Structure 1
Amino acid sequence: MKVRPLHPDDLTQLRLLCTEHAEYEGAAVEDSDQAQRWSFAFFASPPQLYGWVCSESGAAVDVLEGYMTASVAMSTWSAKPYVFLDCIYLKPRIRRHGVGKIMLSLLEEFACGRGCQEIQWQTIPSNKTAAAFYKSIGAVPLTKTRWTLRVGQLIRTAETPT
């Protein structure tokens, strides 16, 4: 298995992997112009999003078997940058073969290269397999709940009398 940075010609396969990942988590991927937005996010200077993919070593054509995406963020409390692992997904047939550990090791190198001392991420509570893997590499769970608010929702709520 080889792991490498995401290339522009990977975006079609990335879309398929994202769909599989979302289905695995019981969610859906917004079906719109991801390729255009991804092109900007991954390949702008500087990138807003960083990506890595894995495929079979020695294959004539790269058939992607997994992906990982991350961004660099800043913590207010520590005033230090950290890497936020947005997604990591491996097709079921390549799990438990060390690929996840390889990918996270690359992310750790990436974090070090950007002066980050921490990597943070989230997973759905029902993903016990992922939680066991994360604990096995020394990760520690946080007790926060992640929230989301659609932009414009607060404005609509504020305009609606109660």
Structure 2
Amino acid sequence: MSDRDSGGGRTVVRHARVEDLGRVVELVAEHAAYEKAAPPAPGLATRLAGLLFGDRGRAGEPPAPAGTDTPRLRCLVAELPDGGLAGYATCAPELSTWDGVAYLHMDCLYLTSTARGHGLGPLLMEAVRAEARALGLTEIQWQTPAWNEGAIRFYDRLGATSKEKRRYTLSVDSA
């Protein structure tokens, strides 16, 4: 997908594989802690397996034939030369009622503290752009906490524009 020579070998950004799931869940937990959010709920690996890999994510299930098992959620990982994963980005197609078009929603982009500042963020963003192009989408949208000045500077350097909004969540069990 994309790569960068880090001096000690190539860092590669690629789609996550079933065998990456454990590390991706660890990165998600690190990301939640970094954003001062609650930790992921128990069973995250099982839920993500279905979203990312469909039947391929279920233990003992053979992979689906190519092109027949389109995942709802896409996960791109930054793989270091030693094979370790230093970060991830997740995205999914969504719809804009106001524009009447589909776009790619980037739900998460996270790099470990030691991986930041080494050019991996731009690699992940280029992979997300490539994902949007492959899906025939012309725009990517995402959000970041207002206090995350490092991320805001990074996105501004990319040429992204921001819109002020608040994000709400509401449990469907609410009265």
TM-score by length of 1: 0.89
In the alignment, does 2:147 pair up with 1:123? no
Separation in 1, partners of 2:71, 2:155: 27
1:31 Cα shift?
A: 2.9
Question: Structure 1, unaligned stretches of length 5 or more?
Answer: 157-162
Residue 94 of structure 1 aligns to a residue in which SS? Answer: coil
1:11 Cα shift?
A: 1.1
1:24 Cα shift?
A: 0.6
Residue 92 of structure 1 aligns to a residue in which SS? Answer: coil
Match of 2:30 among 20, 27, 31: 20
Preserved CA contact (<8 Å) 1:54 1:65? yes
> What do the CA deviations read for 1:70-128 (whole angstroms, capped 9, x no partner)?
00001112111100000010011111111110110111111111121110001111000
1:68 Cα shift?
A: 0.7
Preserved CA contact (<8 Å) 1:67 1:88? yes
Residue 12 of structure 1 aligns to a residue in which SS? Answer: helix
1:29 Cα shift?
A: 2.5
Which letter maps to 1:124? P
Residue 114 of structure 2 aligns to a residue in which SS? Answer: helix
The answer for the alignment partner of 1:33 in structure 2 is 43
Match of 2:114 among 93, 106, 116: 93
Separation in 1, partners of 2:39, 2:73: 17
1:55 Cα shift?
A: 2.0
The answer for the alignment partner of 1:160 in structure 2 is none
User: How big is the alpha-carbon RMSD for the aligned residues of Structure 1 and Structure 2?
Assistant: 1.1
TM-score by length of 2: 0.83
In the alignment, does 2:22 pair up with 1:8? no
Q: Report matched runs for 1:27-106 at 5 Å.
A: 27-44=37-54, 45-57=69-81, 59=82, 62-106=83-127
- Structure with the larger helix share: 1
**Number of residue pairs aligned between Structure 1 and Structure 2:** 151
Separation in 1, partners of 2:119, 2:53: 28
Which letter maps to 2:15? P
> What do the CA deviations read for 1:53-72 (whole angstroms, capped 9, x no partner)?
11212x2xx22111110000
